[in-house]
Chain A
Amino acid sequence: MKIDKILFRDAFFCTIMTFIVAGILYFTFVNLSFLDPFENTFKDFKFTDYYYSKRFNKEQRSDKIILVNVKHADRYQLAQAVNKISAQSPRAIGLDIIFKDRKLAFTDSILKASIASNNHIVTSYFHENDSIVNSDPYFRTDNAKKGYINLNLKDQNSVIRDFIGVKDNPNEKEYAFTTKLALEAGLIDESYAEKELKKRIPINYIGNKDVFLNFEIDEILELDDIPALKDAVILMGYLGDGNTQFDIEDKHFTPLNSEWVGRAVPDTYGVVIHANILNMLAKKNLIYRVSVFPTYVIAFISCFLILVFSIRLYKRNSFVFDITEKFVQLLLSVVLLYVAILLLQTNIYLSVMPIILLSLLGIEMIDYYEYLVTYLNKKFKWESHLL
């Protein structure tokens, strides 16, 4: 019994030592500029991306959110498409397009009339540094509803994982394009947006373009009647113009990329990201993110438990420990990643990286901990399970 107590004490102190060493290493990475690539690599990498990259989520498609590829259609064609879609009575139409300048007076006036004629159109704008980039003032209408289409968040690298639906600015409240669209379509109400969408939420991706019913603008213009448009939310944006493999206009990195580490080619069009967010809002299928403190508590417990097992094995037979150490580390990573993926399936996002790294580092720290307790034993008669 006494031995067990000492074993647990050793595991506890070894865990603390692991955390201290990990902390020192982390701050070294953060503060030394020449180690920036490592820091950025770790930022770019999330174990949980494996879930989306390998499509662990249940295959589901949507005909309630419909994408329309505007390609490089001119403003007259866009106006015609808006009119045609409006005539089918969708819940709302989102224009993920910015008409930065005026082009031809005639076609511009037709487009403006089309936008003004529908009360459920949401237009877009974006923040660039300290300014706001909008469509030309000519296209602003009295009933204009608009939302920001920024997908970049503070501290987020190029991979689009999170989203903020409502920003509380000192002067006015700002809504994301998808939040505004969901409000306009009646998929959520103001109180829900206020309560749930002010914080940073991981995007619950269901898939790329293929999981949403999508039309080319030519199809919209050619077909007389598209029953699915009725009561659907329509998102008009760019989804490629022919050569999708090499076309990277408005294409971004997301966890859907088949290369979950070392992404090189953008994988998802901006409008598809908006569609995924909208689908998440429509189904109120938000992901709960486990905050930093509970994550590190779990990391501590995981590290402690693996150290209890490892120290016991180390003491019993250090040869077996050396042989099995790497296997245990591999198995531990596989099991912890599995747990994180299981949790993600139930809409709980646990950042498993610190848990895995600290647990693996903990096993490596046993040798150093042994040197420490040997020294302490000589100096202060410190008892340890390892001696």
Chain B
Amino acid sequence: MGKSFAIIVLCCFVSILNSQDSLCVFNVKGTAYCKLSNALKPLTKGSFIPKSSNIILAESAEITAIDSKGIAFKVDKAGEYKFNKILQHKAIKNAQGLTTKYLKLIWDELTNKGSGKTIIGGVYRGDILMEFPKDSTKTASSKLVFSWKEHNEDANYYVFIRNIETVEVHKFSTNGTSLTLYNENPIFYEGNEFEWAVSTEEFPNLKNIPFYSFTLIERAEYEAFRSKIKEVINDLKTLGLTDAEIEVSICETYGICK
């Protein structure tokens, strides 16, 4: 009886030793909070998530955290997660064993998969119609206005929006030089990173036309960025720029747009 009790105590002790005390935030995209005793604290890279806390992820936010053994956990759906729930979201699910990985690679080599990388000796030049959003911008607006240069007066324009994550492409046709979409549009439901392109051809080769990427961000992230550069904003105000002009200036300089 005494021996069994000692084993139980030992097992409990070992399991306590093995349990995670906290996770270190490795990467954050979007807005995420740590909720500890009803107090909310924004999660930033390099902060810790204590065992007794929950995390709250805003829409289209994602977080990667690691434990003391270096194992990564990734949560990318909005919601509130308890600490133990995070541990169920390993960043690499069902990691392949060495033998499986090796045999798969050998097979790919034998079947020549992975070859066929395109190598070109030149650079892209061409008349790019797209004007806004510019390439690699982050935009926080609920209304997205895509605008482009006029090709000719009677032209019909075809706008292509591609979800980077799902590679799904949506196509719109218009005879104007702008298109407005709202971010509750189902095409923005999944993921927050997109690319867009405009063409005057109805069925262009999508590999042959340049795409501009844009990321949808939360308004809070935009405001946080604004507060970081508040001195610059004050300087611009002193120079007599209006709020709208300042927003355009931030958008053009930093690629972060409202």
Stretch at the interface among B68-76, B123-131, B209-217: B68-76
Q: Are A334 and B106 in contact, CB atoms less than 8 angstroms apart?
A: yes
Q: Which residues of B contact A60 (CB under 8 A)?
A: 69-71
Q: Are B98 and A219 in contact, CB atoms less than 8 angstroms apart?
A: no
Instruction: Bin chain A's interface residue count.
Output: 20 to 34
Chain A window 195-238, contacts with chain B (Cβ cutoff 8 Å), 1 for yes, 0 for no: 00000000000000001010100010011011111000000000
Q: Which residues of B contact A172 (CB under 8 A)?
A: none
Q: Closest CB of chain A to B64's CB: distance in Å?
A: 9
The yes or no answer to B48 lying at the interface (CB within 8 A) is: yes
The yes or no answer to B145 lying at the interface (CB within 8 A) is: no
Q: Closest CB of chain A to B114's CB: distance in Å?
A: 10
Task: Name the contact of B92 in the complex, choosing from A59, A211, A226, A334 (C-beta under 8 A).
Answer: A59
Question: Are A219 and B71 also in contact (CB < 8 A) when A61-B26, A63-B26, A63-B66 are?
Answer: no
Q: Are A226 and B46 in contact, CB atoms less than 8 angstroms apart?
A: yes
Q: Closest CB of chain A to B229's CB: distance in Å?
A: 10
Chain B window 64-90, contacts with chain A (Cβ cutoff 8 Å), 1 for yes, 0 for no: 001001111000000000000000000
Docked complex Cα distance between A56 and B44 (Å): 31
The yes or no answer to A329 lying at the interface (CB within 8 A) is: no
Q: Are A215 and B46 in contact, CB atoms less than 8 angstroms apart?
A: yes
Q: Closest CB of chain A to B78's CB: distance in Å?
A: 24
The yes or no answer to A62 lying at the interface (CB within 8 A) is: yes
Please give 12 more A-B residue pairs, beta carbons under 8 A apart, in addition to A61-B26, A338-B99.
Answer: A54-B105, A56-B101, A58-B95, A60-B71, A62-B66, A62-B70, A63-B66, A211-B70, A213-B46, A223-B46, A228-B24, A228-B46
With both beta carbons as reference points, the residue of chain A lying nearest to B23 in the complex is identified as A63
Q: Are B72 and A227 in contact, CB atoms less than 8 angstroms apart?
A: no
Most interface-central of B25, B92, B102, B106 (chain A CB within 10 A): B102
The yes or no answer to B45 lying at the interface (CB within 8 A) is: yes
Q: Are A222 and B228 in contact, CB atoms less than 8 angstroms apart?
A: yes
Docked complex Cα distance between A345 and B97 (Å): 11
Q: Closest CB of chain B to A193's CB: distance in Å?
A: 24
Task: Name the contact of A61 in the complex, choosing from B70, B99, B228 (C-beta under 8 A).
Answer: B70
Chain B window 220-245, contacts with chain A (Cβ cutoff 8 Å), 1 for yes, 0 for no: 00000000100000000000000000
Q: Are B101 and A54 in contact, CB atoms less than 8 angstroms apart?
A: yes
Q: Which residues of B contact A345 (CB under 8 A)?
A: 98
Task: Name the contact of B47 in the complex, choosing from A58, A227, A334 (C-beta under 8 A).
Answer: A227
The yes or no answer to A357 lying at the interface (CB within 8 A) is: no
Q: Closest CB of chain A to B108's CB: distance in Å?
A: 10
Docked complex Cα distance between A58 and B95 (Å): 9
Main secondary structure of the interface of A (DSSP, over half): mixed
Task: Name the contact of A213 in the complex, choosing from B24, B71, B91 (C-beta under 8 A).
Answer: B24
Q: Which residues of A contact B98 (CB under 8 A)?
A: 56, 341-342, 345
Q: Closest CB of chain A to B3's CB: distance in Å?
A: 36
Chain A window 311-343, contacts with chain B (Cβ cutoff 8 Å), 1 for yes, 0 for no: 000000000000000000000001000100110
Q: Which residues of A contact B228 (CB under 8 A)?
A: 222
With both beta carbons as reference points, the residue of chain B lying nearest to A214 in the complex is identified as B45
Q: Closest CB of chain A to B26's CB: distance in Å?
A: 6
Q: Which residues of A contact B71 (CB under 8 A)?
A: 60-61
Q: Are A338 and B102 in contact, CB atoms less than 8 angstroms apart?
A: yes
Q: Are B66 and A61 in contact, CB atoms less than 8 angstroms apart?
A: yes
Docked complex Cα distance between A167 and B101 (Å): 39
Q: Are B102 and A228 in contact, CB atoms less than 8 angstroms apart?
A: no
Q: Are A213 and B26 in contact, CB atoms less than 8 angstroms apart?
A: yes
Q: Are B44 and A223 in contact, CB atoms less than 8 angstroms apart?
A: yes
With both beta carbons as reference points, the residue of chain B lying nearest to A344 in the complex is identified as B98
Chain A window 45-76, contacts with chain B (Cβ cutoff 8 Å), 1 for yes, 0 for no: 00000000010101111110010000000000
Docked complex Cα distance between A215 and B44 (Å): 11
Q: Closest CB of chain B to A112's CB: distance in Å?
A: 27
Most interface-central of A56, A61, A211, A222 (chain B CB within 10 A): A61
26 residue pairs A–B, Cβ–Cβ below 8 Å = A54-B105, A56-B98, A56-B101, A58-B95, A59-B92, A61-B26, A61-B66, A62-B66, A62-B70, A63-B24, A63-B70, A66-B46, A211-B70, A213-B24, A213-B46, A213-B66, A215-B45, A219-B45, A222-B228, A223-B44, A226-B46, A226-B47, A227-B48, A228-B46, A229-B46, A345-B98
Q: Which residues of B contact A219 (CB under 8 A)?
A: 45
Q: Which residues of B contact A229 (CB under 8 A)?
A: 46
Q: Which residues of B contact A215 (CB under 8 A)?
A: 45-46
